[in-house]
Amino acid sequence: MHEPAEQRSARDFSPAYKRFALAMLTLVYALNFIDRQILVILQEPIKAEMGLSDAQLGLLSGFAFAVIYVTAGIPIAYWADRGNRRNVVSLAVAVWSGMTALSGMAQNFLQLLLARIGVGLGEAGGSPPAHSMISDYYPPAQRATALSIYSTGIYAGILLGFLFGGMLAESFGWRTAFMVVGVPGVLFGLFLRFFLKEPVRGRWEPEQAGRPKPGIQQTLALLRDRPCFWYLSLGCAFTSYVSYGNGNFMPSFLIRNHDMSIAEVGAVMAAVAGVSGAIGTFLGGYLSDRLGSRDMRWYLWVPMIGTALGYLPYHYMLFTGHTYAGLGVLFFALVLMTFYLGPCIAIAHALVPAGMRALTSAILFFVLNMIGLGLGPLVTGLVSDLLRSAYGPDALRYSMLITTQVTLLAIAMFALAAKHLSADLAKQRV
């Protein structure tokens, strides 16, 4: 039986085209986080105009977004494991970008909340199909590096969201910032539809190519027998709890406790959070691929060690009176604490057949985002409100300190995942 011409050509993507495809998907992820992060830098002027509490800010930037993001993510990933992943991604970009533009038209908290829910719905269709495509563009030995390059889109988006959000808000107001950021993404979604090619599913696992497509129940049943997956998911979730819980309030902390303007915060946080995260995410994947060739457990030891080394320096930022010295130490801490994502996605994909990868990514992101994005900002905001009567302007500082302690749980989860990895990989080889 002859293979269709479309599949033959897809199997022969040139190195240059694979780099182009990876760059386009990384840009998708950057847009994802620009549209997500823009709210973080704009939340102080929004709070002032609408009279919001820190808990409401946490609800907007965390829980409300995360609930729809993770709930929609699983059925969309199920669709992506069966349909054209390129089309799913291009539609998702157009939807979330359009809803970001609509955020600038909100007149009250409820309208802004509904717009942000719409952003979450669109963004649910971004990463799981993109992860699956990358795992079919690149062979297993290169996946952690490729997925880490893709994951640097998070920090490119944070950098651009902070930088342009702060500048636009100070010059034109927060409503204009939402609109300027959202509209180009709709056009980029159309570009992807016509210029990004769908790779053959299971490209590097030909022995799995004719198997029936597994459903959600089959995928969950397999993952129930992979304790490594659940421990690494919790490790990612607790790491992101600290990242989102403190990161989403860092601009507010700098404005309230260090007397910085919104434009200054945007420029500084673009450099600190954006550049450090991109470096750390790339290094995490690169080191894991290099060390993991000798022992696969390095894919989990690298995130564990990085997270542990970043724990204590983070405290310095919260309590120093020297703003720029604190930001320098924060830069170092964030490099270390962003090692985790690429290696963990690569291991999650290694634990399941090719036809389960998008859905497995969606389940990983369900755990990560419900705990990290959903609870991190919300609980940090609630604790800040509760501490205000006792600590006044330092309430947010102590709330962020409490959030930082969740790092210890992340370290423990990565260690447990590494303990179970060899046995779970052996099950996949059977």
**In this predicted structure, what is the pLDDT of residue 8?**
42
Q: What is the pLDDT of residues 117-167, one digit of tens each?
A: 888 888 888 888 898 899 888 888 888 888 888 988 888 888 888 888 888
What does the block give as tokens for 67? 């609930």
**Could you tell me which of 65, 50, 62, 33 has the C-alpha nearest to residue 174?**
50
What does the block give as tokens for 356? 């389960």
Structural domain of residue 277, as residue ranges?
16-197+214-429
**In this predicted structure, what is the pLDDT of residue 319?**
94
Asked if residue 141 belongs to a domain, the reply is yes
- Give me the percent of the chain exceeding a pLDDT of 90: 47
Total domain count, the chain: 1
**Could you tell me which of 174, 157, 181 has the C-alpha nearest to residue 99?**
181
**In this predicted structure, what is the pLDDT of residue 5?**
40
Q: How many of the other CB atoms lie within 10 Å of CB of 310?
A: 23
Asked if residue 322 belongs to a domain, the reply is yes
Polymer length in residues for the chain: 430
The CATH code of the domain that includes 32 is 1.20.1250.20
What is the Cβ-side half-sphere exposure of residue 90, based on CA atoms within 13 angstroms? 17
**Could you tell me which of 192, 276, 269, 337 has the C-alpha nearest to residue 38?**
269
Give the whole-angstrom CA distance, residue 143 versus residue 327.
32
Asked if residue 207 belongs to a domain, the reply is no
Q: What is the pLDDT of residues 390-410, one digit of tens each?
A: 999 899 999 999 999 999 999
Report the SS3 class of residue 321.
coil
Asked if residue 246 belongs to a domain, the reply is yes
In this structure, which amino acid lies at residue 43?
A: Q
Asked if residue 418 belongs to a domain, the reply is yes
Give the whole-angstrom CA distance, residue 159 versus residue 276.
10
In this structure, which amino acid lies at residue 140?
A: P
Q: What is the mean pLDDT of the chain?
A: 87
**In this predicted structure, what is the pLDDT of residue 210?**
54
Give the whole-angstrom CA distance, residue 253 versus residue 355.
44
Asked if residue 5 belongs to a domain, the reply is no
Give the whole-angstrom CA distance, residue 295 versus residue 297.
5
Asked if residue 248 belongs to a domain, the reply is yes
Q: What is the pLDDT of residues 201-222, one digit of tens each?
A: 777 766 555 556 677 788 889 9
Q: How many of the other CB atoms lie within 10 Å of CB of 224?
A: 10
Asked if residue 206 belongs to a domain, the reply is no
**In this predicted structure, what is the pLDDT of residue 258?**
93
**Could you tell me which of 119, 392, 404, 370 has the C-alpha nearest to residue 245?**
404
**In this predicted structure, what is the pLDDT of residue 11?**
55
